[in-house]
Structure 1
Amino acid sequence: MSASDQPHHPSRRGILTTATGLAAGAALPLLNAGSAHAALPRAAAQEPPGAAATFTNPVLWQDFADIDVIRVGDTYYYSASTMHYSPGAPILRSYDLVNWEFAGHSVPRLDFGAKYDLSGGRGYVRGIWASSLAYRPSNRTFYWLGQIDFARTYLYTATSVEGPWNRHAELPQVYYDAGLLIDTDDTMYVAYGNTQISVAQLAPDGRGQVRAQQVFSTPSSIGTLEGSRFYKINGAYYIFLTRPANGQYILKSTSGPFGPYTLRQVLLNLPGPIPGGGVPHQGGLVQTQNGAWYYLAFVDAYPGGRVPALAPVTWTSDGWPQLQLVGGAWGSSYPAPELPPPPRQVEPLTGVDTFAGTTLRPKWEWNHNPDTSRYTVNNGLTLRTATVTGDLYAARNTLTHRVQGPTSTATITLDHAAMRDGDRAGLAMLRDSSAWIGLRRDNGTTRLVMVDGLTMDANWNTTGTGTERATAPLTGTRVWLRATADIRPGTGRQARFSYSTNGTTYTSLGPAFTLNNAWQFFMGYRYAIFNHATQALGGAVTVTRFELTTP
């Protein structure tokens, strides 16, 4: 089904479960030594030793929708939707379900057609929707399974979440909103579908289908159910399903993976932890190594996107999950999971990136696939113009970073000495309604500008390429560009732009930009670094520093 067919969001998969299908309480194997990680700086948000053992929702105020979560040993991983951003399907890592860091991407490149290269078409709001991540103890391998453009399903595997990830041949069947289960006997199953929910048994290598059967038809009184997550818990099979965008249901079978299944509601129209935000939903269940259960869902919180919230779960005597509420709502805080001390602190999601080394860190994603010949990372990011266009939405090699909520500031240090006439470079607030601060070089002169009015229609075609709202002269070859964004739902959802010529004193440029809070684009706003030509290729800019801060 297309996005326009959805009552609200597309497969907004919430995040997943215990041990990718191992029986509840079963010990999970640790990954091999090759997956060990060096110590990283302590995240500011992490509790120091002896601090009060509570956490606050959302546990991570960034846009990570359609989440699938698993535990492998003492480590938690989750995967999220990225649609047209590349690399796709990011994997985050945590040791406590509260503090998360980037680990890698399951889909290194969107190798699904030229439109994902912004060549002869566009992939906006297509690409990586709800997908599934699992770990198979028998061969110590991670499996990612996802559907592309409602027409193709692919399987990727890796022995470490950092990669390399290998894409296998396209599966002969299409699994919409796939939830992958690796059973205790090592058999692989997929739960999938919209309204009509089916289960397929996969071939032993996961690359073919042995059998498939519809196991449930959603009553019209409920409407749509999708976003499957598939578990085996204490010998029973469960399919976790979302009703977009305000409910969560669960199917249970004690007669095997093909049912019959009975249905129970987990939540409906439950007040969420973000003022002005939506109902937590499309989530999944995960069991800690100490036996406790949690539900990690996402909350619609546009313009920032869909952000994860965590809550404890208990089980009834007859084997159904019950969400633990606070005052009849999803709690804004809960006691922290009781877990062993982490082996190290995870890397914070805010801070400074000087683009050290020769590769981008996994927190970065391009708007569509990049032209790899037109950028380099070498203790700085050099963007050579890759597209001649007057339309930022058509320009390749725009590099994006999620916005940290509820408010944050992104600052880049930009060397523009190699720009050429007609080039446009800067820092944008990127979505289907966009604005930016940056540089225009025309007739041998480079000046600062603030531009808004970059817009798309409902089919993601460009309807506005921007209107210059303010300008300022520029001297020297280095400039600091800054965007400050408030992504809380409500009337204050604005971004403001400023610049500096010395890195210390900043001057506002242009009016405040009101961020679009419509859900239809699905992805939230991102900070975006860009450089494109309007006349001819050959120019370049170098970003030597990116900093993301919160108040």
Structure 2
Amino acid sequence: MRMSWTRQPFSRRHALTAATGLAAGTVLPLTGAPRAAAAPAQGPAHAAAGEYTNPVIWQDFADIDVIRVGNTYYASASTMHYSPGAPVLRSYDLVHWEIAGHSVPVLDFGAKYDLNGARGYVRGIWASSLAYRPSNRTFYWLGQIDFARTYLYTATAVEGPWNRLTTISTPYYDAGLLVDTDDTLYVAYGNTTISVAQLSPDGRTQVRTQQVFTTPSSVGTLEGARFYKINGQYYIFLTRPANGQYILKSSGGPFGPYTMRQVLLDLRGPIPGGGVPHQGGLVQTQNGAWYYLAFVDAYPGGRVPALAPVIWTSDGWPVVQLVNGAWGTSYPSPAVPPPPRQVTPMTGVDTFTGTALAPRWEWNHNPDNTKWSVGNGLTLRTATVTDDLYWARNTLTHRIQGPTSTATVQLDHSAMRDGDRAGLALLRDSSAWIGVKREGGATRVVRVGGLTMDSNWNTTGTGYELASAAVPGSRIWLRASADIRPGAARPGTFSYSTDGITFTRLGPDFSMGNDWRFFMGYRFALFNHATRALGGSVRVTRFELSTP
């Protein structure tokens, strides 16, 4: 996870000096062809039978940690100010993924995460770690919040319930949790200065922490630690944001000494217009093959996962298998057992039946749970009196599917009150929406733009109407289409329907920017807030996310 960074000058052929103050800490550039296997041949633009294409998930899942437990793969990702936080993804083949649950059920880290007097935009759940401990058959999630302390959550199933096990006063920045073969818990963490901590057997306290590596100035920043023990040696996998990946190796134990090699730098990625794959994790399949699941900066959509095979040199260093000198658009599919079932699609229809939201949904900050319900559709009662959507509680978000996708919502607005605003937004630090305004007993569908934040995430624009139309009846269909191909600002469009069949465009295209500094990509968002008094509500009876 990065808050700010500067690209450092680097020569691929330059031999780096030893890390300052580290005994035997020599730094070796990784050059030449690996001795274990040859790179695969050039793949087609679209996967043939027995191949997969990148990105394996074209949705916003960043700072990935990935593990395998038996025949199942799990991954965790950053969610910042969205709640619940730290989604757990599940796959049986490393290619097809579903969202199984969230490791952090509520962001109970202070009032700002409730939009109570302060806001937590671009805070909250950053790069964190997911691990499994065979001795007690328990999943562990570990991450620091607000540079203040570290939180550790556990569950016996990724669907939950997840419970907080402990807090630790040391903030383990960009942590990687290792369950060693002797069941000891270690954490690698830090930015530029990399440390390792040992936890108590129950995981509740810190036993020891020690600096193990200082990044050479010629490399710049290293962070995003992932911690492994492979063939008796310890590895700390580190990212150089946002264009490189490095690895430290120790034969002397978890506290070092460590040597370093470059894994990749300025590598062409698999998404046109996107960035360099980095800051992910290594995982081994059941048959011994290794893969690297990284993310690609791909704004305005966010940071999306890409998968590549990895081999190891005879002296124990990982090498990403390339296609014509780049991270491949396609590779042979991992050889794994047949899946026990198909994973749940991340697109499709939700009619909000049952007693809980599907895990594909996350709130913008914590919701007021007295003001929403599911069962017979999703009911959103007004939870905030404000003219600023960025302050409105109970705004429910859904990731956008790339490269282009459309969200369509059926909305019953009969219980809205004067001054209420409800609708469907494209939400980020510059936002727009289509929705319903109730004023003087009359209802209009409006297209609103000009919702903006500054670089400190303070509101600089609360929005203004760009177009409107009268709305008969009590139901309306709202639609937002988003192009999130990276490399440039992309258009979002809005339309509405009174019968669910014929849609009418409303207002101009909305330009979705591709700046990285908000970190999270654009999302579709359902909202209902009051500008005068609480008491109104809307009901979403159907949400559909579709692709061309």
Q: Compute the TM-score of the two structures, normalised by the length of structure 1.
A: 0.91
Alignment CA distance shift 1:365-1:419 (3 Å): same
Instruction: Compute the displacement of 1:169 (Å).
Output: 3.1
For residues 177 and 145 of structure 1, the distance between their equivalents in structure 2, rounded to whole angstroms, comes to 10
SS of 1:412's partner is strand
Where does residue 43 of structure 1 map in the other structure? none
1:471 aligns with 2:468: yes
Please tell me whether the aligned partners of residues 237 and 281 of structure 2 are also in contact (alpha carbons under 8 angstroms).
yes
Instruction: Compute the displacement of 1:284 (Å).
Output: 1.2
1:174 aligns with 2:171: yes
Match of 1:212, as an amino acid? Answer: T
1:428 aligns with 2:425: yes
For residues 457 and 489 of structure 2, the distance between their equivalents in structure 1, rounded to whole angstroms, comes to 25
After TM superposition, the structure 1 stretch with the greater mean CA deviation from structure 2, 125-134 or 489-498, is 489-498
Please tell me whether the aligned partners of residues 486 and 492 of structure 1 are also in contact (alpha carbons under 8 angstroms).
no
For residues 255 and 393 of structure 1, the distance between their equivalents in structure 2, rounded to whole angstroms, comes to 50
Please tell me whether the aligned partners of residues 2 and 241 of structure 2 are also in contact (alpha carbons under 8 angstroms).
no
SS of 1:116's partner is helix
Instruction: Compute the displacement of 1:207 (Å).
Output: 1.1
Please tell me whether the aligned partners of residues 396 and 525 of structure 2 are also in contact (alpha carbons under 8 angstroms).
yes
Which of 520, 539, 545 is matched with 2:542 structurally?
A: 545
Instruction: Compute the displacement of 1:212 (Å).
Output: 1.1
CA deviations 1:161-185 (Å, max 9, x no partner) are 0000001332132211110000000
For residues 416 and 78 of structure 1, the distance between their equivalents in structure 2, rounded to whole angstroms, comes to 38
SS of 2:294's partner is strand
SS of 1:128's partner is coil
Match of 2:242, as an amino acid? Answer: A
The aligned runs of 1:30-109 (5 Å cut-off) are 52-109=49-106
Q: Could you list the runs of 4 or more consecutive aligned residues of structure 1 that deviate by over 6 angstroms after TM superposition?
A: none
Instruction: Compute the displacement of 1:523 (Å).
Output: 0.1
For residues 114 and 419 of structure 1, the distance between their equivalents in structure 2, rounded to whole angstroms, comes to 28
Please tell me whether the aligned partners of residues 489 and 513 of structure 2 are also in contact (alpha carbons under 8 angstroms).
no
Please tell me whether the aligned partners of residues 153 and 166 of structure 2 are also in contact (alpha carbons under 8 angstroms).
no
Where does residue 312 of structure 2 map in the other structure? 315
SS of 1:504's partner is coil
Match of 2:184, as an amino acid? Answer: T
Number of matched pairs: 510
1:377 aligns with 2:374: yes
For residues 207 and 519 of structure 1, the distance between their equivalents in structure 2, rounded to whole angstroms, comes to 35
CA deviations 1:110-168 (Å, max 9, x no partner) are 00000000001000000000000000000000000000011111000000000000013
Instruction: Compute the displacement of 1:491 (Å).
Output: 4.0
For residues 229 and 205 of structure 1, the distance between their equivalents in structure 2, rounded to whole angstroms, comes to 21
1:393 aligns with 2:420: no
SS of 1:92's partner is strand
Instruction: Compute the displacement of 1:537 (Å).
Output: 0.2
Where does residue 366 of structure 1 map in the other structure? 363
Match of 1:283, as an amino acid? Answer: G
SS of 2:154's partner is strand
1:227 aligns with 2:224: yes
For residues 491 and 517 of structure 1, the distance between their equivalents in structure 2, rounded to whole angstroms, comes to 6
SS of 1:115's partner is helix
Match of 1:544, as an amino acid? Answer: T
For residues 414 and 65 of structure 1, the distance between their equivalents in structure 2, rounded to whole angstroms, comes to 32
For residues 397 and 348 of structure 2, the distance between their equivalents in structure 1, rounded to whole angstroms, comes to 15
For residues 265 and 76 of structure 1, the distance between their equivalents in structure 2, rounded to whole angstroms, comes to 26
Where does residue 6 of structure 2 map in the other structure? 7
For residues 457 and 349 of structure 1, the distance between their equivalents in structure 2, rounded to whole angstroms, comes to 31
CA deviations 1:7-59 (Å, max 9, x no partner) are 38xxxxxxxxxxxxxxxxxxxxxxxxxxxxxxxxxxxxxx9xxx711000000
Which of 441, 444, 461 is matched with 2:441 structurally?
A: 444
Aligned-residue sequence identity (percent) comes to 79
Where does residue 410 of structure 1 map in the other structure? 407
Instruction: Compute the displacement of 1:362 (Å).
Output: 0.5
Instruction: Compute the displacement of 1:521 (Å).
Output: 0.3
Instruction: Compute the displacement of 1:467 (Å).
Output: 1.4
Which of 232, 253, 258 is matched with 2:255 structurally?
A: 258
Where does residue 43 of structure 2 map in the other structure? none
The aligned runs of 1:290-301 (5 Å cut-off) are 290-301=287-298
For residues 500 and 172 of structure 1, the distance between their equivalents in structure 2, rounded to whole angstroms, comes to 53
Where does residue 519 of structure 2 map in the other structure? 522
The aligned runs of 1:447-458 (5 Å cut-off) are 447-458=444-455
For residues 130 and 363 of structure 1, the distance between their equivalents in structure 2, rounded to whole angstroms, comes to 19
For residues 301 and 65 of structure 1, the distance between their equivalents in structure 2, rounded to whole angstroms, comes to 11
CA deviations 1:447-490 (Å, max 9, x no partner) are 00000110000110000000100001100000000000000013
SS of 2:455's partner is coil
For residues 372 and 340 of structure 2, the distance between their equivalents in structure 1, rounded to whole angstroms, comes to 36
For residues 522 and 67 of structure 1, the distance between their equivalents in structure 2, rounded to whole angstroms, comes to 14
Which of 165, 187, 192 is matched with 1:190 structurally?
A: 187
